[in-house]
Chains A and B, each alone.
Chain A
Amino acid sequence: MAVKVKIPTMMRARSGGEPVVEGEGTTVREVLKDLEGRYPGLTSGIVTDESTLHRFVNLYVNDEDVRYLGSLETPVTEGDTISVLPAVAGGASIDR
C-alpha cells in the first residue's frame, strides 16, 4: 500500500532533496520503517531511539494529528498523505 509522505524542507537533505516520497505499509510505523530502509537517517528526526514520536515533531495523516488517532500505529490506506511538521522558530540565531 503506497502512501505519500510530505517531507519538510528541514529534512530533505535526507530524502535526496525530494519534497514528497512514497512509503509502503499499513500503519504509520510501517511506512516510516520502509522509508528508513531507502532513506537512511530520514526518520531519526521524527521518531526517537525508543521508537516513539519526538515531542517537537508532529505527524498528520491527512489533516489529523496522529497523536489523536493511534500514534505510530495509526492505520493508513492507499491515497492517504502523511505530513511531517517539525517545530521551527524562524529568524535569527537562537544562540546569541
Chain B
Amino acid sequence: MSTPNFSEEQVLRYSRHIILPGIGGEGQRKLLDAKVLCVGAGGLGSPIAMYLAAAGVGTLGIVDFDRVDLTNLQRQLLHDTDDVGRPKVESAVDRLHGMNPGIDVVPHDTMLTSDNAFDIIGQYDIVIDGSDNFPVRYLVNDATQMLGKPLVYGSIYQFEGQASVFMPGKDTPCYRCLFPQPPPPGAVPSCAEAGVFGVLPGIIGSIQAVEAIKLIIGKGEPLIGRLLLFDALDMEFTTVKLRWDPDCPVCGKEPTVTELIDYELFCGLPSRPDDAASAAGA
C-alpha cells in the first residue's frame, strides 16, 4: 500500500473523506490518481463534473462542442448567466477550477466522433455518459467496450431518469444489451420539445458521480447488471435486472461490431458530412 502523501492543503480539503471509513487516505489517493472523462457539460454533466472535481478526481476530462444557451441555465449548474454564448467546456473549466484548483481539468471542445473517440477516451480510466442523443450513447458504449473501460450511464426524460454501470467484457451487460436498437428518429421527443424537470439531471448526475467514485475506490456494489429507475413525481426509485445478451453485437459471444461505425446512420439519421456522432450535454 502506498503512502497517501498529501499536501497540508489536501489534508484539510479532503479531511471529511480521509476520516470517512470506506474512503480514508487510501481512497482519497485513488481519487487523486483517477482519470475520468465526462461526456457532455450539460444537465447531467454539471453535477457529475462538479462532485468529481470537489471530490478531488485528479484528472477530469470534459467533452462538449456546444455553447451555453439561456435555455440551459434552468438545470446546467456548471454555467452562469454571464457564460451565455461561451463554449461550455470553457465555463466548465472556470467553474471546476474555482471549486478545486488542485485538479487537472481537461477541456475537449469538440464533437465526440467515431474518428476521435478512441483518442479521447483512451486517455481516461472511466467514462461517464452525460450525453443527450442516441448516436453518442451508442458511440460511447461501443468505444468503451472496445477499449475495456467502465461506463457510467445516465439518461433523463421529463420527470424520469435511468442509471446503470456497464463494465467491459463478457458476462456483464452493456447499453446494447439493454436497448439493441435506437428508437426511430422522432419517436422520442427531445428535452427541447418535451421539456425536462430542472432538478432531475441533478439527481441522476449525482448518482452517476456516486457510481464513478465507487468504481475508483473499489467500494460497495455498483449498478452492474442493474438498472436504476427514478420517478420524481412519484418519488420512487426502483431497480430492475439487466442481463448480458450473449448475442450482443458488441459484447456478446461472437461480436459482429468490432470497430466504430457510422452512428448517425445506425440511428436512422443523415450521416454527418465529415463523420458520425456529436456530443452535447443533456
A58 near B280: Cβ-Cβ < 8 Å: no
What separation, in Å, do the CA atoms of A63 and B267 have in the docked complex? 28
For chain A, give the interface size range: 20 to 34
Q: Mark A26-70, 1 if CB is under 8 A from B, else 0.
A: 000000000000000000010000000011111010011100100
What separation, in Å, do the CA atoms of A60 and B229 have in the docked complex? 12
A91 near B179: Cβ-Cβ < 8 Å: no
Determine if B193 is an interface residue (Cβ-Cβ < 8 Å).
Answer: yes
Q: Mark A75-96, 1 if CB is under 8 A from B, else 0.
A: 0000000010111111111111
B185 near A94: Cβ-Cβ < 8 Å: yes
Determine if B182 is an interface residue (Cβ-Cβ < 8 Å).
Answer: yes
What separation, in Å, do the CA atoms of A93 and B281 have in the docked complex? 11
A9 near B182: Cβ-Cβ < 8 Å: no
Closest B residue to A9 using CB positions = B158
B238 near A90: Cβ-Cβ < 8 Å: no
Closest B residue to A91 using CB positions = B132
Distance between A64 CB and nearest chain B CB, rounded to angstroms: 6
Determine if B157 is an interface residue (Cβ-Cβ < 8 Å).
Answer: yes
Residues in A with CB closer than 8 Å to B235 are: none
CB within 8 Å of A: which B234-264 residues = 234, 238-243
B192 near A63: Cβ-Cβ < 8 Å: no
Interface set of A (CB-CB < 8 Å, partner B): 8-10, 19, 45, 54-58, 60, 63-65, 68, 83, 85-96
Q: List, sorted by A's number, 18 A–B pairs whose CB atoms are closer than 8 Å.
A: A10-B194, A54-B183, A55-B179, A56-B180, A56-B182, A58-B178, A65-B241, A65-B242, A83-B240, A86-B183, A89-B134, A89-B188, A90-B44, A90-B161, A91-B190, A92-B42, A92-B282, A94-B190
